[in-house]
Structure 1
Amino acid sequence: MVGAVAKYQKYVEYKDLDEDFLPILPIDWQIHRVKTILKLRRVIVGSDSKFYQLLSLSLKGVIPRDISGGDGKIPESFDTYQVVKENDLVFCLFDMDETPRTVGLAPQNGMITGAYNVYEAIEGNVPKFVYYYFLYLDLFKGLKPFYTGLRKVVRSDTFANIKMLCPSFYEQTQIANFLDHETAKIDSLIEKQQKLIELLKEKRQAVISHAVTKGLNPNVLMKDSGVEWLGQVPEHWEVSRFKFVCSSIIAGPFGSSITKDMYVSKGYKVYGQEQVIPNDFEIGDYYISEKNYLELSRYEVYPKDILISCVGTFGKIAVFPENAQKGIINPRLIKATVSNKFNPYFFREYLKSDAVFKQFEQLSRGGTMGVINIGILNEIFAVIPPRTEQDNIYNFIQQQKNKFNHLIQKAESTIQLMQERRTALISSAVTGKIDVRNWKNPNNNEANTEFGV
């Protein structure tokens, strides 16, 4: 992302460094150890925990957490939590490769788990600059050389002796203010693109749902389907229970029918949610022997079978492809074989429509939400257009998916570019590759025009 920082000037003079992590440094910058910049503080809240706001370290940094929300694990007691003050730095210095974000800056007073390290900036240092510096390191796991043990821990005494870059207090302030302004603009643009992606996905689903329940001809005569969630359908369409569309509907075997000791390195494949959710039947490495395959032949899956994920993932449905390996379904799938006169791809799209989801919600009342069984599937009403119309609707849906997917991919690419720009700006500012000492906050809403998104 050279272009992201090309418009900013560099320092006039640099000095060479005998450091692995940085070859050059602005002439007036220093290198100090963390212990001269940050002071470790551990104050336990004890019985006063009820007076403190619960905080959490997340990808968005240190954020307030609602105890009553029920999100994530909530301990029985917070008495072992530690005090956090506004502008403290919070570090997670364990399981560092697995932890998405290892540093955060507290926006307010509160308390946080005692497993983290809480530091305050020593006078003469800007907490926000220190945060951006360690965020820069976190983006490429720059503390990896200091890990120890299986849990990849950076010990407190080791952390205290890590070297970090130190510009003057004024420059730290300028860098922090510059990055606050620039990253806020970028974050605003990213949020707009994320909202666009959600709108595109909603529109795509609405177009598909309309096509499979109303057809493609806006002038066709309509009739009442007799089904609350379907409303009117084209007059020449039939409406029937889904079970009458199929020659068979079979749930996967009971869990006890397939045990771990049955799996072999090669043979007949066992298909499950792992393949259906991403609609990728090449992945997966669960196989059974020919003997077990023949014993479980009732669950054999054939090309054009509709496979439905039946636990916790309503709407995850795929058609078994022609070129997939022979195999069976596992207990988390249902396979529906539609009659030869119907297009299975049309009915896959219909089963993923809003009309079917509403039926499923109604039929599941009193049962377990997110779980589909044959009884529920049998009761779902299906529309049955003539076969040629099924084919035309499916082809139309594919065209619409391609169009919307292209727009979504463009938005995702824009987000990726903006995230790269964000990373490049942080990296360049905290390592002295750009000089922002003379930067002034323009105080205008550039977020609407930057990038021309």
Structure 2
Amino acid sequence: MIEGLKPYPAYKDSGVEWLGKVPAHWEVRRLKRICRLAYGDALATNVRQDGPVPVYGSNGRVGTHSIANTKAPCIVIGRKGSFGKVNLSCEPVFAIDTTFFVDSRFTTEEIHWLYYLLEWLRLDELSKDSAVPGLDREDAYKRIAAVPPLPEQTAIVRFLDWAERRILRVIRARQRQIKLLEEYKQALIHQAVTGKIDIRTGQPYPAYKPSGVEWLCEVPAHWEILPLKWLAKCYRNGATPPTTKNFYYMGGTIPWYSPSSFDSGEIVSAPIRFVSNAAIEDGVARLIHGPALLVIVIGATAGRMTLMEQDGTTNQQITAFELPYDWKTCVFLLRQLRFSESWLRENASTATIPILNTNIVTHLPCLLPPPKERCAIVEYLDAQTAKIDAVIAAARREIELLREYRERLIADVVTGKVDVREIAARLPEEPLEEGAELAALDEAETLAGGGEDEENLGLGAVEEEVEA
């Protein structure tokens, strides 16, 4: 807790078990007696992408509009989809019909204080049990809160705004740090698997030759350049056994993968289901022997790749290349070929859905250094990326703890567990950061810039931190 925060001099029983005692001079009211949750409007036909007014739906800002239907400042609360999610805007907005909103017309309380109160009330925990979960206004109105006098609400807002700005700055700095670390990690992998740097010396190789490939440029003179199909024992597309025939799936032990099994990891994630030997024997599924490189060739994620370590099967959106190599060589090839994914997407046909031409995929150029060298490269990258991942994990954990601290601080302040009046009176005036809203904390995942940083990390500083 921030140093100097003390409890109020006198408390009273709120009459609500979970709320406990509240400051003696505060009132205890239901939300219905604090504000009215107004319904947003159906989106009008004059919506335009370059409109001056932000449009808010259940998930926050979703577009722009030519007019506003709220006054500033305004709280927007999701009632469908991300129900209960609270956003605060310091400018007029257009609230669409998947939201509730509150502005000065619908409460006599301080809007910024009400925003913090609604965050603490966790309206997202209220949902009707229906096909489409949503926030019911009457259920929300039953929530109980302690309400301080208006001058005290202003002091609470002043303090929480001050604390929030500092928390947000540190979170943004950590997120920028994570972004730089991810970029550094990818640059390190690219330099090693494409031969830009000799990992044994940390310098370029002594001799290079042209690769004739857009994303590879020049490559070490002693590395081979071979099409992917030459490296594979065989390659084949997957298939989907008829779901109407249960015996193809019942008691199945052979994993069956689809594009949804692909993630950022180097090994394919959980199978969608398992198929039986009957599916293989009847030719409605095709057994792939691991290790194999899996490439999505149909769909929005065409070009994505991963490895399958053990035997399995896939659907028809995936082409599998069985590799006759040790596991480290397979990992080396995956890390290298992943840098061609954006090129593959650009070259996919898009008449209806993206489809990769088989000839393009099978002729993907692969760089193959001597066996000992590619093994050394994989071991080097494993060691270096483990260090980077550890720093990233620590930064993410710090962000998580900061968010937990923010929630706890808001709870303690809006329920009167601590008295912030004295410290709020001593806080210096601070101009709002450009483009900053109090709800920006939830949107900070976008790594938005702007505002003062607690740290300013360049790639050089990132490298030093990893080594430390």
Normalised to the residue count of structure 1, the TM-score between the two structures is 0.81
Q: How does 1:20-99 map to 2 (within 5 A)?
A: 20-41=17-38, 53-57=53-57, 63=61, 65-66=63-64, 83-94=69-80, 99=82
Is 1:263 the counterpart of 2:214? The answer is no
Is 1:306 the counterpart of 2:293? The answer is yes
Cα pair distance change 1:347/1:23, threshold 3 Å: same
Is 1:335 the counterpart of 2:320? The answer is yes
User: Is contact 1:249-1:374 (8 Å) kept?
Assistant: no
Give the corresponding residue for 1:105: 88
Deviation at 1:100, TM superposition (A): 6.0
User: Is contact 1:89-1:106 (8 Å) kept?
Assistant: yes
- Tell me, in whole angstroms, the C-alpha distance in 2 between the residues paired with 1:365 and 1:148: 43
Is 1:188 the counterpart of 2:169? The answer is yes
Give the corresponding residue for 2:191: 210
- Tell me, in whole angstroms, the C-alpha distance in 2 between the residues paired with 1:436 and 1:362: 56
RMSD: 3.5
Deviations 1:142-184 (A, max 9, x none): 546xx57665555444544543220010111111121112112
Cα pair distance change 1:142/1:365, threshold 3 Å: closer
- Among 281, 293, 298, the alignment partner of 2:280 is 293
Is 1:197 the counterpart of 2:178? The answer is yes
User: Is contact 1:238-1:383 (8 Å) kept?
Assistant: yes
Q: Counterpart of 1:26 in structure 2: which amino acid?
A: P
Deviation at 1:265, TM superposition (A): 4.8
Cα pair distance change 1:224/1:298, threshold 3 Å: same
User: Is contact 2:120-2:410 (8 Å) kept?
Assistant: yes
- Among 378, 382, 388, the alignment partner of 2:362 is 378
- Tell me, in whole angstroms, the C-alpha distance in 1 between the residues paired with 2:45 and 2:308: 59
Cα pair distance change 1:14/1:180, threshold 3 Å: same
Deviations 1:399-422 (A, max 9, x none): 122121111111111111111111
Q: Tell me the secondary structure at the aligned position of residue 296 of structure 1.
A: coil
Cα pair distance change 1:265/1:11, threshold 3 Å: farther
Q: Counterpart of 1:269 in structure 2: which amino acid?
A: P
Q: Counterpart of 1:424 in structure 2: which amino acid?
A: R
- Tell me, in whole angstroms, the C-alpha distance in 2 between the residues paired with 1:176 and 1:111: 24
Deviation at 1:269, TM superposition (A): 2.3
Deviation at 1:346, TM superposition (A): 1.2
Q: Tell me the secondary structure at the aligned position of residue 420 of structure 2.
A: coil
Q: Tell me the secondary structure at the aligned position of residue 352 of structure 1.
A: helix
Give the corresponding residue for 2:99: 116
Normalised to the residue count of structure 2, the TM-score between the two structures is 0.78
Cα pair distance change 1:275/1:154, threshold 3 Å: closer
Deviation at 1:135, TM superposition (A): 0.8
User: Is contact 1:56-1:65 (8 Å) kept?
Assistant: yes
Deviation at 1:335, TM superposition (A): 0.8
- Among 320, 333, 342, the alignment partner of 2:308 is 320
Cα pair distance change 1:378/1:367, threshold 3 Å: farther
Give the corresponding residue for 2:7: 10
Show structure 2 runs of 5+ residues with no match: 432-450, 456-464
Q: Counterpart of 2:74 in structure 1: which amino acid?
A: D
- Tell me, in whole angstroms, the C-alpha distance in 1 between the residues paired with 2:11 and 2:242: 67
Deviation at 1:280, TM superposition (A): 5.8
Cα pair distance change 1:64/1:437, threshold 3 Å: farther
User: Is contact 1:15-1:27 (8 Å) kept?
Assistant: yes
Deviation at 1:357, TM superposition (A): 3.6
Give the corresponding residue for 1:74: none
Q: Tell me the secondary structure at the aligned position of residue 405 of structure 2.
A: helix
- Among 412, 427, 434, the alignment partner of 2:396 is 412
Cα pair distance change 1:143/1:30, threshold 3 Å: farther
- Tell me, in whole angstroms, the C-alpha distance in 1 between the residues paired with 2:101 and 2:384: 51
Cα pair distance change 1:273/1:357, threshold 3 Å: closer
Cα pair distance change 1:441/1:365, threshold 3 Å: farther
Deviation at 1:352, TM superposition (A): 1.1
Deviation at 1:242, TM superposition (A): 1.9
- Tell me, in whole angstroms, the C-alpha distance in 2 between the residues paired with 1:129 and 1:307: 53
User: Is contact 1:251-1:373 (8 Å) kept?
Assistant: no
User: Is contact 2:86-2:118 (8 Å) kept?
Assistant: yes
Deviation at 1:53, TM superposition (A): 2.4
Q: Tell me the secondary structure at the aligned position of residue 15 of structure 2.
A: strand
User: Is contact 1:40-1:120 (8 Å) kept?
Assistant: no
Give the corresponding residue for 1:352: 338
Aligned residues between the structures: 421
Cα pair distance change 1:381/1:368, threshold 3 Å: farther
Give the corresponding residue for 2:411: 427
